[in-house]
Amino acid sequence: MNGKDSLQHVKEIAQRVHQPYRLQGADAMAISENPLCGDEVLIELKIEGKTITDVGYSVNGCLLCKAASALLIELMKGGSCHEVQTTHDRLEAMLQGRAESCLKPFKIFEQISNHSARHGCVMLPFQATLTALKQQ
């Protein structure tokens, strides 16, 4: 969140999950909590074959957590289960300095790669989603 333009961009993305969106009859659901602050991300999935057809969510978190949730949810709709794991791995590698880039929308989090305490905020929605996918 270095600079006002960058912060404004993160805020705009975070705004997209301001209101919860819940699914009826989800095929998988999981909640992940951040032990540092008690932030909570709930993810619900509707899955047909290997494709995620719809995503329900409730995000109680900071700007980074909300922004990561919004981007992940948008990525998942119509995407594959495998894609979630791949994006998770590349994003984690970028944050930890093991890779130079990741999927483009998630590049905005590169600016916090040197704030290790905040990596958990970005990864929280991935944790919830991967936990939900393991139920399949």
Partner 1 sequence: MTFDVVSTRRGFPGLMQTARGGVALHYLDNAATTQMVQEAIDAYVHHEITSRANVQRGSHYLAERSTEAYESARSMVCQFLHASSPKEVIFTSGTTESINLLVSSFGSLLRVGDEIVVSEAEHHSNFLPWQRLCDATGVILKILPVTKEGRLDIDALPHYVSKRCRLIALTHCSNVTGHITDVLSVVKVADSVGAKVFLDGAQMVQHGPVDVQELGVDFYAFSGHKCFGPTGIGVLWGPEEQLQKLPPFQTGGGMVNYVDVDSVRFADYSRRFEAGTPPIAQAIALASALQWMMTLDWDAVLQHEQRLFKRAINGVNSIPGIHLLGEPNQEHRQSLISFANDSIHPHDICHVLDESGVALRGGHHCAQILLRKMGVTTSTRFSIALYNNDADIDALINGLERAVEMLS
Contacts of 41 (CB under 8 A, 6+ apart): 31, 32, 57, 58, 59, 60, 61, 65, 69, 124, 125, 127, 128
102 binds partner 1 (CB under 8 A): no
What is the spatial distance between Cα 5 and Cα 7, in angstroms, rounded to a whole number?
5
Closest approach of partner 1 to the CB of residue 32, in Å: 15
Assess contact for 44 and 132: CB atoms under 8 A.
Answer: yes
Handedness of CA 86, 87, 90, 95 (dihedral sign): negative
Closest approach of partner 1 to the CB of residue 86, in Å: 27
38 binds partner 1 (CB under 8 A): yes
19 binds partner 1 (CB under 8 A): no
15 binds partner 1 (CB under 8 A): no
61 binds partner 1 (CB under 8 A): yes
Sites of contact with partner 1 (CB under 8 A)? 1-2, 4, 7, 11, 36-39, 60-64, 112, 114-115, 118, 121
